[in-house]
Chains A and B, each alone.
Chain A
Amino acid sequence: MFDQNPFARWFGIDETTTQHILTEALSRGADFADLYFQHTKTTSLSLEDGIISRANTNIEQGVGIRAVFGDQVGYAYSENLDIDAMKAAARTAAAIAEGTQTVPPQHVQLQSPGNYYPINRDWDQVDVAERLPLVTQAETIIRQMEPAVEKVSIRWSDSDERILIVTSDGTFATDRRPMATLYSSVTALKDGVRQSNGASVSRREGIHWFSEPNIRQVCQKAVDRTMILFEARRPPAGEMPVVLAAGASGILLHEAIGHGLEADFNRKGTSIYSTMLNTKVAPDFVTIIDDGTQDNDRGALNIDDEGQPTERTTLIENGVLKNYLHDRISAKHYGVSTTGSGRRESFRHVPLPRMRSTYMLDGPHTKDEIIASVDHGIIADTFTNGQVQIGAGDFTFYIKNGWLIEGGKITAPIKDVNIIGNGPDALKNVVMAANDSQLDDGSWTCGKSGQGVPVSMGVPTMLVKSLTVGGLNQ
């Protein structure tokens, strides 16, 4: 199986080599060990002042070696894939264990991964000359759209990632993960005032996806989001109803709920949700999913970074908290199967339970009903940051663009305010959700323990009865 495997050939390893390294990692009595081989080539282009005058390529290659003893982890990595270097790293990882018995590594079985991001051509088969027109096209589109635009900056990035995972309990899994991101940023000048904003699209796609309409869409967003700022102001400060527009407002789920349901925090008792499993945490119409199986989505994974199949995990079903997100360590702790949520930034990092694509299913209301129900509040549309304190449950997200709602109608645009709330309180206070759930395909990167991983998110239009809105005191 190893011999014919193109990934094993790519990394120059065979089953005997991996068994030797795993044996080293288990040599001090660890009860589990795994190897994570990675090769990623990233190509980036940057356009400013009308020309693409900077490119970057980055090759990251290495192996991460983990030894697990109960819930204790020893970890080391090596960029050098010579057997001696890898064995030395394995010995370092092994030192976590203080066991007396050693288990030998099992013969491996090939995992059948999902196939959630088929593309026509891998990125390493695409010449740079084919990428350049996508970037210049984006600039041209923006310039044609809006004469008030002064500066356009386009950033392109694509990556081709090969992963091979071997575990001491017999998993052998490989994956090839594409990712492509187009980011357009715009500065416009109007009556002596400057405003800037941007928009991005990021998907596990090949070059064929970047058609003129798809590029135009992200450019249109960048221009619209910039030009509206000239009319926007700060809303009044304080608590008020907040309508979350369908799509990127999924950041609320990610921060207010998602992180708190990552099982490592619950295993340690440090999440505000650690005592809430199988309890009612939201109204009946709230069902929240974390999903690694959506086609070409930024959060999709054929396998997770522990070699386990990914899945569509129901976190909250009809308002009841049903599941946490598990990696191997937390799944063992809770006596459940992993949810395929063990993820890591690269071979330099240990896997942790992480979100993939987190979204809420349709609710029973309509967008119009929701807006009409608000007498004095805001609707939040685009976001540039979010954060949560897992234990206190306080979460924030930063609204770049939104509108005031007055007397049941959308009125003046608003900008640049932070929203803060408490996760469990906000969930209880979701009073309406519409039938228009959609995913946002912006380049969201989730940070945890110093590791960034790509994610996506989505919601239908929804109403939270009260959140604290940053703004001005009247």
Chain B
Amino acid sequence: MEQDLHTQAQQAVSLAKQSGTENAIASVGDENSTEYTYRDGKIEEVKQSTSRGLSLQLYVNGRYSTHQTTDLRPETIAQFTTDAVALTKHLSQDPYRVIPDPALYEDRPTLNLENNDPTVRDLPREVCLDWLKKMDSVTHTDERVVSASGYVWYGWNTSVRVSSNGFSGTRSGTSIGYGVSVTLKEGEHGRPEASRIVRSRHLSDLPSHEQIAQEGLDRVLSRLDSTKAHSVKSTLIVDPEAGGRIFGSIIGALQAQTVQQNRSFLADKNNTQIANPILTLIDDPLQVRGLASRHYDGEGISARQLPMIENGILKNFYVDTYYGRKLGWQPTTGSSSNLTFAKGDKNLAQLITDVSQGFYVTSWLGGNADSTTGDFSFGFRGHQIENGQLTTPVSEMNVTGNFLTLLNSLIAVGNDPNPYTSMQTPTLVFENVEFSGK
């Protein structure tokens, strides 16, 4: 299979070269996935797919274009490549567009990332059905449940990348996930809902199905009688599952493209204190079993750990070849991998105890952010905190601010990172945050 992909990628590069391209990069990937949805005692949907696609990057006389196709018949591939090269010749020459420096391909790590779990590749339908039934019986243990769905999905992928300047690499990995979403009846029309979903590369890294289903049910039960609290400036505690929304925006502002296009509020902040010194954030592509672990990035650049924020000081940006050349910066990597945080010494429950007044945010609803200014405003769901205790569930409220102010108002980081995602945020505590409600 892998050899087959390699041959196809190599042929695509050769074909592109024959069509008049100086340099070309081809990736061919296979994906296999199965998804089950189970609802209220029976299977609702089963979806299976096996999929292959080709993607090409072309460098033609100082010009650049990218192309993808799922039509892999030899005769159509030939036409596709010829058309792609012809199209590229119409574009403007751009001195910054060059194929990545092959020196960046060197010293590729060989550490076993344990991206593959053989159990996942061989999961019988009966096993998945058994899990779904177990989750379904747990989520239906409360009479207020009007509907509960369970999900199981798994799959694997392999991709091969070949470049005309000497790169050749293969990546593969498995993934598996499951979870539930539960809807309750509350009053005449109300249908509060919540979900609990986990995913990993290895089945053995996931909690039991019963536990996940119970957590999903508990979450929605905790939503009953939710109210809107008064607008106030107060303390914000962000659940490990919700922190990704905040750091996703911050990572976006660290992209070289965002910086070069003058749309990053962090553009001129390199080596300056942007956050409380308790914040240390590392991009770690070499985490064993990490969901975004890799030996090389999207450009073929060999993977290495990259400190992004160290003791509150901004240390690095995500720099690819093109925008790096435009900025005059050395490439680091063009895209984020696993993000890990230096841990504090308390978990969520302990951190809540330390707060006299505030809000614990469990999930966001809508909202957006402006990467140029760092301004943001998000809707949220969660609970009120009074004297170190979680009290009323709250809904229909917003939190509003600016990321630079927010990062400086970080007062605690938990020891409880969310392991089921690549953005492994722990509990985060911020003070003096603007909440709007009634």
A132 at the A/B interface (Cβ < 8 Å)? yes
Known: A385-B367, A418-B398. A350 touches B190 (CB 8 A): no
A53 to B139, CA, bound (A): 53
- Whether B400 contacts A472 by the Cβ 8 Å rule is yes
A96 CA to B35 CA in the complex, in Å? 12
Q: Does A394 contact B (CB under 8 A)?
A: yes
Determine the distance from Cα of A395 to Cα of B367 in the docked complex, in whole angstroms: 10
Chain A stretch 47-77: residues in CB contact (< 8 A) with chain B: 48-49, 51-62, 71-77
Nearest CB of A to B119, in Å: 21
Partner of A348, one of B45, B49, B233: B49
Partner of A391 from B46, B183, B373 at Cβ < 8 Å: B183
Number of interface residues of A (CB under 8 A): 87
Between-chain CB contacts (< 8 Å), 26 pairs = A72-B44, A75-B46, A76-B47, A76-B49, A96-B45, A237-B231, A270-B147, A272-B190, A275-B188, A385-B367, A390-B191, A392-B192, A396-B366, A396-B367, A398-B377, A415-B370, A417-B398, A418-B366, A420-B365, A420-B379, A420-B398, A468-B438, A470-B378, A471-B398, A471-B400, A472-B434
Q: Which of A54, A234, A419, A470: most chain B CB closer than 10 A?
A: A470
Contact partners of B398 in chain A: CB under 8 A: 237, 396, 417-420, 468-471
| Interface contact A77-B377, CB-CB below 8 Å | no
Assuming the contacts A237-B436, A473-B434, asked whether A394 and B377 have C-beta atoms less than 8 A apart, the reply is no
Given contacts A196-B370, A389-B193, contact A350 B45 (CB under 8 A): yes
Q: Tell me if B437 counts as interface (CB < 8 A to partner A).
A: yes
A473 touches B231 (CB 8 A): yes
Whether the Cβ atoms of A72 and B91 lie closer than 8 Å is no
A169 proximal to B (CB < 8 A): no
Which B172-194 residues sit within 8 Å CB-CB of chain A?
Answer: 183, 185, 188-193
In the complex, per-residue mask of B90-130: 1 if CB is within 8 Å of any chain A CB, else 0: 11111001000000000000000000000000000000000
Chain A CB within 8 A of B372 CB: yes
Contact of B365 with A387 in the complex, beta carbons under 8 Å: yes
Among B18-58, those with CB < 8 Å from A are: 39, 42-53
Min C-beta distance of A259 to chain B, whole Å: 12
Closest 10 interchain pairs by CB? A396-B366, A391-B191, A237-B436, A470-B398, A53-B94, A387-B366, A51-B92, A470-B377, A418-B377, A391-B193
Q: How far is the CB of B65 from chain A (nearest CB, A)?
A: 4
- From residue 398 to 438 of chain B, which have CB atoms closer than 8 A to chain A? 398-400, 434-438
The yes or no answer to B208 lying at the interface (CB within 8 A) is no
| B262 at the A interface (CB under 8 A) | yes
Q: How far is the CA of A79 from the CA of B68 in the complex (A)?
A: 13
> Does the CB pair A397–B366 fall under 8 Å?
yes
Q: Which of A361-398 contact B (CB under 8 A)?
A: 384-387, 389-398
What's the minimum C-beta distance from A271 to chain B, rounded to whole angstroms? Answer: 7
Q: Indicate if B280 sits at the interface (CB-CB under 8 A).
A: no
Which B residues lie within 8 Å of A95 (CB)?
46
- For A470, the chain B residues whose CB sits under 8 A away are 367, 377-379, 398-400, 434, 436
CA distance A71 to B149 in the complex (A): 14
Q: Which of A79, A129, A270, A398 contacts B191 (CB 8 A)?
A: A270
Are A153 and B261 in touch, CB under 8 angstroms?
yes
Closest chain A residue to B50, Cβ basis: A78
**Sample of 15 more A-B contacts, CB < 8 Å, known A79-B72, A348-B51:** A53-B97, A55-B66, A59-B70, A71-B44, A72-B43, A75-B45, A195-B372, A234-B375, A237-B436, A255-B366, A269-B146, A391-B193, A394-B379, A470-B379, A470-B398
CA distance A358 to B58 in the complex (A): 41
Dominant secondary structure at the A interface: strand
Nearest B residue to A195, CB-CB: B372
A259 to B430, CA, bound (A): 34
Docked-complex contact A55 and B70, CB < 8 angstroms: no
A59-B71, A75-B47, A237-B435 are contacts. A52–B365 as well, Cβ < 8 Å?
no
Number of interface residues of B (CB under 8 A): 80
B376 contacts chain A at the CB level, 8 A cutoff: yes
Least CB distance, A3 to chain B, in whole angstroms: 22
Q: Which residues of B contact A (CB under 8 A)?
A: 39, 42-53, 63-72, 80, 83-84, 87-88, 90-94, 97, 146-147, 183, 185, 188-193, 223, 226, 228, 231-233, 261-263, 326, 365-373, 375-379, 381, 395-400, 434-438
Known contacts A418-B368, A470-B400; is-contact A392 B39 (Cβ 8 Å)? no
**Chain A min CB distance to B378 (Å):** 6
Query: Contact: B90 with A128, CB < 8 Å?
Result: yes
> Given A237-B231, A272-B190, A473-B434, do A62 and B70 touch, yes or no (CB 8 Å)?
yes
Q: For A346, give the chain B residue with the smallest CB separation.
A: B70
User: How many Å from the CB of A420 to the closest CB on chain B?
Assistant: 4
Docked-complex contact A57 and B87, CB < 8 angstroms: yes
Q: A54-B65, A54-B91 are in contact. Are A72 and B42 (CB under 8 A)?
A: yes
A153 smallest CB distance to B (angstroms): 6
Please report the C-alpha to C-alpha distance between residue A88 and residue B64 in the assembled complex, in whole angstroms: 39
Which residue of chain B has its CB nearest to the CB of A53? B94
**Chain B residues whose C-beta falls within 8 Å of the C-beta of A153 in the assembled complex:** 261
Tell yes or no: A424 within 8 A of B by CB: yes
A92 at the interface (CB under 8 A from B): yes
For A276, the chain B residues whose CB sits under 8 A away are: 189
A274 near B: Cβ within 8 Å?
Answer: yes
Decide if A208 is an interface residue (CB 8 Å cutoff). Answer: no
Inter-chain contact A129/B90, CB cutoff 8 Å? yes
B68 touches A59 (CB 8 A): yes
- Return A455 CB to nearest CB of chain B, in Å: 16
Contacts of A396 in B (CB 8 A): 365-367, 379, 398
Task: State which of A73, A237, A421 has its C-beta within 8 Å of the C-beta of B434.
Answer: A237
- Could you tell me the distance between the alpha carbons of A151 and B372 in the complex, rounded to whole angstroms? 12
Q: Taking the nearest CB of chain A, how far is it from the CB of B235, in angstroms?
A: 14
**Smallest CB separation, A344 vs chain B (Å):** 12
Q: Judging by beta carbons under 8 Å apart, are B67 and A398 in contact?
A: no
Given A54-B64, A62-B70, answer yes or no on A422-B396 (Cβ-Cβ < 8 Å).
Answer: yes
CB distance from A427 to the nearest CB of B (A): 12
Query: Contacts A270-B147, A396-B365 hold; do A424 and B91 have CB atoms under 8 A apart?
Result: no
Cβ-neighbour of B261 out of A48, A55, A271, A274 (below 8 A): A48
Chain A 408-437 near chain B by CB (<8 Å), digits 1 or 0: 000000011111111010000000000000
CB distance from A136 to the nearest CB of B (A): 9
Separation in Å of the A453 CB from the closest CB of chain B? 18
Chain A residue numbers with a CB within 8 Å of B87 are 43, 55, 57, 128
Q: Which of B69, B80, B92, B189 contacts A275 (CB 8 A)?
A: B189
Contact A56 B66 (CB under 8 A): yes
For the complex, give the distance between the alpha carbons of A100 and B142 in Å: 35
Instruction: Tell me which residues across on chain A come within 8 A of B399, comparing CB atoms.
Output: 470
- Contact check, A92 vs B48: say whether CB atoms are below 8 A apart: yes
Kindly provide the distance from the CB of B101 to the nearest chain A CB, expressed in whole angstroms: 19
Question: How many Å lie between the Cα of A63 and that of B201 in the bound state?
Answer: 29
| Measured CA separation A385–B369 after assembly (Å) | 10
B88 near A417 with CB under 8 A, answer: no
State the CA gap A254–B146 with chains docked (Å).
Answer: 24
Residue in B64, B365, B372 whose CB lies within 8 Å of A196: B372
Q: Which residues of A contact B192 (CB under 8 A)?
A: 391-392
Given A392-B192, A416-B377, A473-B231, also A238-B261 (CB < 8 A) = no
Contact A468 B397 (CB under 8 A): yes
Q: Inside 8 A of B66's CB, which chain A residues have their CB? A: 54-56
Residue of B nearest to A82 (CB): B73
Considering residues B47, B48, B223, which has the most beta carbons from chain A within 10 angstroms of its beta carbon? B47
Partner of B368, one of A51, A93, A385, A421: A385
**B313 CB to nearest A CB, Å:** 23
Asked whether B262 lies within 8 Å of A150 as measured between CB atoms, the reply is yes
Give the distance to chain B from A469, nearest Cβ to Cβ, in Å.
6
